[in-house]
Structure 1
Amino acid sequence: MMPRKPLLILLLIMAGLTASAQKRVMLWFDAHANYKRLSSADSIRFYLEKSKQAGVTDIVVDVKPITGFVLWKSKYAPYLGEWQGHKMPQDLNFLQTFIDEGHKFGLTVHASINVFSGGHNHFNKGIIYGQYPEWQSINYLDTGLTKISAIKSKYSGMLNPANPEVQKYQLNLLKELIKQHPGLDGVILDRVRYDGFESDFSNVSRKLFEKYIGKKVANFPADVYSYTKKDGKPVKTPGPLYKQWIEWRASVIYNFFVDARKTAKKANKKIIFGDYTGAWYPTYYEVGVNWASNKFEVAREYSWATPKYQQYGYAELLDLYTTGCYYYEVSKEEVHQSNTYRAARTEAGMSTQRSPVYSVEGSAERAMELTKGAAPLLGGLYVEQYEKNKDQFIKAMQMCMDKTNGLMIFDLVHIVQRNWWDAIQQVTGK
């Protein structure tokens, strides 16, 4: 008979290995960046096999990139049949090929849609440049109200999330996508947010906000905020309705998630309903999003939040959540050791502040705290941030695996360009 202590140790080791094996390793396939690469069934099959060999368990196929064009035959949205001079073969059923071939390799296949994005401003392409220019975000800059299509410093031509017509359109697309692909395992919503704190200040938003607060806004948008000069630069100065505006925008996104979940589950009750956001929660209110659990008392920690803001935490609405721990610094200690941040912080709502939470470790831990186990959480990494430092990338992947329920890697194109499949294998043990 085996002594009790060695048996207990063996059981603990086996349990640890099982838990590690159960963690998802997700690889994202961006539509624009990989358009030519993924325009044949053979190529799709090749990269799925590479993914499986590297220890990837889940893949995310971007089928509605930021232009608002889609990669399935839709009666609502235009088809992305060409990108940068390359055409998609007419006989290729793009997503269905991923589903069929992915399942052969035992991969879980999710489709990603960029919900409230409708244009690529660097190419002047998208639905805001075509059939729906009136849906684009109106941003309140220090120079005045400006259509987002005119702000070329922004590559993503965002829509107004509060617009009921926009919401109905996106829900129709979500339903259509799932219905057309009954073998699809999951959907991951991306860009379910505002462009930034400067959006949206259209007349549609004004009327909806007035309805929410139950009164007319005397001075719009100045009662939300105005611009004043500080050291010669324009600075936002909060107005009397500043906090209510933040609360209302979070309610818009929350209520959309309620409707999106109902729509997805009605189309396929087994579908995995997922979401991606950035991990920088302290400033994510700037894009109108409260991705925390509704049990997290936001107003106790953050001065910009009303007590009601807590109600619009939507983590409980998700079956799967992945958050971008998009920092070069892996450990919390590295934040204090480095003199400058190695990776530029250019994502929407991202802070330039120096803090342990702005590391892979710190952001992963904080995300787990905020979501309170409402849904499995995968720590996400942006491969490009690690430049040529494979060891740092490996450390970052391992940190996500250790601190969250798994790992999300963005994107395939960067793994291929660097040939870093072996780096993934080091973490997955394949």
Structure 2
Amino acid sequence: MVRRPGPSSTQLCPRCQNDRGRFEPHSNGHEESSGSLSRLTRPFLKEPSMIDNLCVAGFSRLFARLRRVRPRKILPALAAAVFFAGTAPVSASPERQLFVSVIQQPQTLASSEAVLELIQFARRAGITALFIQIYRGDQAWFSSELADDSPYREALKKNGEDTLDLLIREAHASGIAVHAWLNLLSLSKNTEAPILKKYGPAVLTQKPGPEKNKLEDYLIDNQYFLEPSDPRVHEHLLGILGEVLRAYPGLDGIQADYIRYPDSQPFYGYTPENLEAFRAASGIREVSEFTPGWKDWRRGRVTALVEKLSKRARELRPGIIFSTTGCAPYARAYHEAFQDWARWVELGLADFVTMMSYPLDPLDLEENLMGAGARAEGLSNINVGIGAYKMAAKADIFQKHWQICTASGARGCAVFHYGSLHEDPALAGILLSSITRSRKEL
């Protein structure tokens, strides 16, 4: 397959180009748009180069008008006409998937009874795959010598059995696949994380600015982020992956989450080691976000980590499904989190990507799907995350998102998360009723 370029954020118009993927007014009177490239213009074109040297502000103005004139009918039709002509046929039945998070209280893996209740619900709701969170904030819900496995040991003592083992057995008996969901580069707010105890804050990513004096200075969006390019981080995460795969040969897959830089500004990756390596490779001494090649260098480091994890998983378990999550819209992932997830699928590093973006407006979800489909040549290798956790008392919105996903041709529709269905039974009811309708149609 021919390598397609990433979303271009330059050469858009001789007077409005910049390196931030945003448009600014200039002397020709082009209006300002605060949206990112993917927001209106990028999703409508398969190749970013198709609009190089054109003024994208004009496109933004056009599609802004389309949004105001019956947008829910115009945008999907326009998207279908532009992107998906000639692509693979739309799948009639995407996988029905469910995330099970440790943030849910009580935690599902804390008791055998809760595990059996989950499997019973999943079977009734027609769930075909479960993403079970077993690693978060350097805590492990499995036996580990590298992470803090106190959650696993507490559950084992309480139940007298490994509840993840039980979950895998019961899920398989019901025809449900189980993927281990691992939050890898985020330590959450865990200042006691074993990797921090071992190496200190040197393994955390950094933004440019004053010297850090205490651990709290490294907090980013209320969490600590490991540096994606640090060899010590690689060793730790590869070790975690190995522990999981050796302990649970029945797992169907691994879903690697948080494989990225923080998607917030100012940008990150300014560790002394990174700057030294980039200077050695480029010969450039002064490094900033406008330095040619600096973004690509960090993006390449994230991809290198994905490649290592994918290779290790397949060495230890030939045939294992290895997937990742991805930010959305795609331009945000590419330009801000330095996460080229469409490329990971293209290279075969990931079998699929779960797009984790949770807008409330259904139109925003449609636009994200358009952008993802344009970059990945359709949605056959893309799961769509549906943010049920934002939709308590908003069952109508949840239903609309579910309908959009199931009609999109995506590989799967992944509800985030199981605990939210407990909090609002109306959301669970939508899943249950949709599977009932599907069975009647058969």
TM range (shorter): 0.7 to 0.9
Determine the structure 2 residue equivalent to 1:290: 340
Contact 2:322–2:352 (8 Å) recurs in 1:
yes
- Which one-letter code corresponds to 1:289 in the other structure? Q
1:70 aligns with 2:140: yes
Q: Distance in 2 between matches of 1:325 and 1:361?
A: 11
2:420 to 397, 414, 417: 414
Q: 1:27 aligns with which of 83, 95, 98?
A: 98
1:394 aligns to what SS in structure 2?
Answer: helix
TM-score with structure 1 setting the length: 0.73
**Residues 387 and 40 from structure 1, CA distance in 2 versus in 1: closer, same or farther, beyond 3 angstroms?**
closer
Structure 2 partner of 1:330:
362
The equivalent position to 1:382 in structure 2, one of 387, 399, 405, is 387
Q: Give the structure with the higher percent helix.
A: 2
Whole-Å Cα distance in 1 between the matches of residues 321 and 345 of structure 2? 19
Task: Indicate the residue corresponding to 1:298 in structure 2.
Answer: none
**The one of 179, 184, 188 aligned to 1:110:** 179
The verdict on how the C-alpha distance between 1:375 and 1:271 changes in structure 2, with shifts beyond 3 A counting, is: farther
Alpha carbons 1:135, 1:166 under 8 Å: kept: no
Post-superposition CA distance 1:40-64 (Å, at most 9, x none): 1121011111012012110001111
8 Å Cα contact 2:298/2:338 also seen in 1: yes
| Aligned counterpart, 1:120 | 188
Judged with a 3 Å threshold, the aligned counterparts in structure 2 of structure 1 residues 191 and 105 are, in CA distance, closer, same or farther, namely same
For the 8 Å contact 1:44–1:98, the answer to whether it is kept is yes
Amino acid at match of 2:247: Q
| 1:198 and 2:267 correspond | yes
Q: Are the equivalent residues in 1 in contact too, given 2:147–2:193 (CA < 8 A)?
A: no
Match of 1:274 among 316, 323, 347: 323
Aligned twin of 1:81: 151
State how many pairs are aligned: 341
Is 2:420 aligned against 1:371?
no
Counterpart code for 1:73? S
Q: Residues 199 and 275 of structure 1: is their aligned pair in 2 closer, same or farther, counting only changes over 3 Å?
A: same
Residue 240 of structure 2 corresponds to which residue in structure 1?
173
Relative distance call for 1:75 and 1:127 in structure 2 (3 A) is: closer
Q: Classify 1:151/1:19 alpha carbon distance in 2 versus 1 (closer, same or farther; 3 Å).
A: same
Separation of aligned partners in 2, 1:178 and 1:388: 39
Unaligned runs of 5+ in 2: 1-89
What is the one-letter code of the residue matched to 1:55? G
Which residue among 196, 209, 224 is the counterpart of 2:288?
224
Q: 1:32: how far off?
A: 3.0
Choose the corresponding residue for 1:244, options 293, 299, 310.
Answer: 293
Q: Deviations over 1:384-406 (max 9, x none)?
A: 22231101101101111111222
Q: Structure 1 residues 148 and 424, CA, compared in 2 at 3 Å: closer, same or farther?
A: farther
**Secondary structure of residue in 1 paired with 2:348:** helix
Name the amino acid aligned to 1:327.
Answer: P
**Deviations for 1:311-365, whole angstroms, at most 9, x for unmatched residues?**
x77663221221024111113xxxxxxxxxxxxxxxxxxxxxxxxxxx1111112
**What amino acid does structure 1 have at the position aligned with 2:377?**
K
For the 8 Å contact 1:397–1:427, the answer to whether it is kept is no
Match of 1:308 in 2: none
Structure 2 CA distance for aligned equivalents of residues 268 and 75 of structure 1: 20
Q: State TM-score, norm by structure 2.
A: 0.71
Equivalent position SS for 1:130 = helix
CA contact (8 A) 2:382 2:411 kept: yes
- Give CA-to-partner distance per residue, 1:155-193, whole Å, 9 cap, x none: 321101100111122112212211221110000000001
Q: How far is 1:126 from its partner?
A: 2.4
**Is there any run of 5+ residues in structure 1 with no aligned partner, and where?**
1-17, 226-237, 294-311, 332-358
Structure number with the higher strand fraction is 1
Partner of 1:156: 223
Q: Return the structure number with greater relative CO, CA threshold 8 A, min gap 6.
A: 2
Kept after mapping to 1: 8 A contact 2:203/2:232: no
Larger deviation: 379-388 or 259-268? 379-388
Q: CA deviation at 1:26?
A: 0.9
Match of 2:433 among 411, 423, 426: 426
Separation of aligned partners in 2, 1:394 and 1:374: 20
Q: Distance in 1 between matches of 2:414 and 2:297?
A: 31
Q: Given that residues 182 and 257 in structure 2 are in contact (C-alpha distance below 8 angstroms), is that contact kept between their aligned partners in structure 1?
A: yes
How far apart, CA to CA, are the structure 2 residues paired with 1:256 and 1:411? 27
